Amino acid sequence: MKIRPRRLRTTAVLRESVAETHFRTNQLIQPHFVIEDENGVQPIDAMPGIARMGIKKLVERVGLDLDLGLTSVLLFGLTEHKDARGSSSTDPKGLIPRAVRALRERFGDKLIIATDVCLCGSMDHGHCGVLKDGKVLNDETLPILAAMALAHAKAGADIVAPSDMMDGRVTAIREELDRSGYSDTALLSYSTKFASAFYGPFREAADSAPKSGDRKSYQMDHRNAREALRESLLDEAEGADMLMVKPALSYLDVIKTIKERTLVPLAAYNVSGEYSMVKAAAARGWVDEKLVVREILNSIHRAGADLLITYHGREAREKGWL
Ligand code: PBG
């Protein structure tokens, strides 16, 4: 046999020298769940290792993460006040604007602050938009999302990230930001977001499960790959600075296709259920967590994601898994 691919797998240094996939720590984005109680730390049952934190604890934690090279956060707010208009989400003095200000004050431009823009956490019914007669209304939701994004931008967010899946939200948010003097605030669209059972643990973590029905009238059907591309291309055309595929692991084909068809950075969200399954199997000794996490993150990057939003980031970095 003349051709033997195994030759290049002979030693660890040789394998390392021909490895095709590498990502940097600063391509990881660490999500955080922020709560009103400033000093509160509430571990999340379904997500071992992840806790909801008040602003003081969050600032401490992010300081430690920065020392590990984790330079990006994605913030989710758990507001106590919920109503039919999601009014706490647009409050300039609300939870997320306060968290953004505290982080900015402490870390200046060393930290990249992204905020999730969605109404499910502030709506009493738990849907991502205005609900009327059992329907989630698209156009009525847009101005609320735009106001929410503006409140985050004013507080100093670098990136606003709409995750609601209403049509036209990128245009609505971009116009509102530009009109108000925030033309430099970047927009990371959750452009291709599937209605996924892998969000289960997040909905416990963020107390954002819909009280009735499901999200299938706005989030995508997991069977559709062409529509997946269309959704992202539409958001790019509307002016999104970055796109996203979510979840990641069941959608590596989608990541690859979008990557080939766009010129803006692409993120992938390795979501709560994907995280919790690894944790559950590792706790039973069924998989080697370090190796599985490495394989997962490398796979998502290999498929084409430039940015990896993952709950594994901090632990993987801290324990030297990457
Ligand atoms: C809010 C939102 C969700 C996630 C991120 N933003 C939940 C949902 O759409 O139901 C999921 C994140 C995760 O599972 O880690 N719309």
What pLDDT is attached to residue 167?
Answer: 98
Two tokens at 191?
């452009």
Domains of the chain in start order, with CATH, are 23-318 (3.20.20.70)
- Across the chain, the runs of DSSP E, i.e. the strands, are 28-35, 41-43, 51-53, 72-78, 112-117, 130-132, 135-137, 159-162, 186-187, 192-193, 243-246, 266-270, 307-310
Please name the residue whose Cα sits nearest to atom 14 of ligand 1.
199
Q: Is the peptide bond before 48 cis (omega within 30 degrees of 0)?
A: no
**CB-facing half-sphere around the CA of 51: CA atoms within 13 A:** 14
User: pLDDT tens digits, residue range 48-102?
Assistant: 999 999 999 999 999 999 999 999 999 999 999 999 999 999 999 999 999 999 9
Contact 49, 4 (CB under 8 A): no
Residue 186's DSSP bridge partners are 159
Q: Is 202 in the pocket of ligand 1 (CB under 6 A)?
A: yes
Residue range 289-316: mean pLDDT, rounded: 98
Q: How far apart are CA 223 and CA 19, in angstroms?
A: 32
* Shortest-distance atom of ligand 1 to CA 273: 14
What pLDDT is attached to residue 312?
Answer: 98
Catalytic one among 57, 82, 246, 279?
Answer: 246
b (16+ CB within 10 A) / e for 265-281: bbbbbbbbbbbbebbee
pLDDT of 17 strictly over 90: yes
Contact 41, 61 (CB under 8 A): no
User: pLDDT tens digits, residue range 167-203?
Assistant: 999 999 999 999 999 999 999 999 999 999 999 999 8
Catalytic one among 82, 193, 259, 279?
Answer: 193
pLDDT of 11 strictly over 90: yes
Q: How far apart are CA 227 and CA 221, in angstroms?
A: 9
Q: Exposed, middle or buried: residue 23 (CB in 10 Å: 0-12, 13-18, 19+)? A: middle
Q: Give residue 87's identity as a one-letter amino acid code.
A: S
Residue range 221-238: mean pLDDT, rounded: 98
Q: Tell me whether residue 246 is one of the annotated catalytic residues.
A: yes
Pocket test for ligand 1, best of 202, 245, 275, 278 (most atoms within 8 A of CB): 202
Two tokens at 62?
């992010």
User: pLDDT tens digits, residue range 265-288?
Assistant: 999 999 999 999 999 999 999 999
Q: How far apart are CA 222 and CA 268, in angstroms?
A: 15
- Which three-class secondary structure state does DSSP give residue 81? coil
Q: Tell me whether residue 193 is one of the annotated catalytic residues.
A: yes
- Which three-class secondary structure state does DSSP give residue 206? helix
Pocket test for ligand 1, best of 76, 148, 163 (most atoms within 8 A of CB): 163
**CB-facing half-sphere around the CA of 22: CA atoms within 13 A:** 7
Q: State the chain's mean pLDDT as an integer.
A: 97
Residue range 91-114: mean pLDDT, rounded: 98
User: pLDDT tens digits, residue range 120-132?
Assistant: 999 999 999 999 9
pLDDT band at 249 (very low <50, low <70, confident <90, very high): very high
- Which three-class secondary structure state does DSSP give residue 130? strand
pLDDT of 204 strictly over 90: no
What pLDDT is attached to residue 224?
Answer: 98
- Whether the full predicted model's pTM is greater than 0.85, yes or no, is yes
Q: Give residue 156's identity as a one-letter amino acid code.
A: G
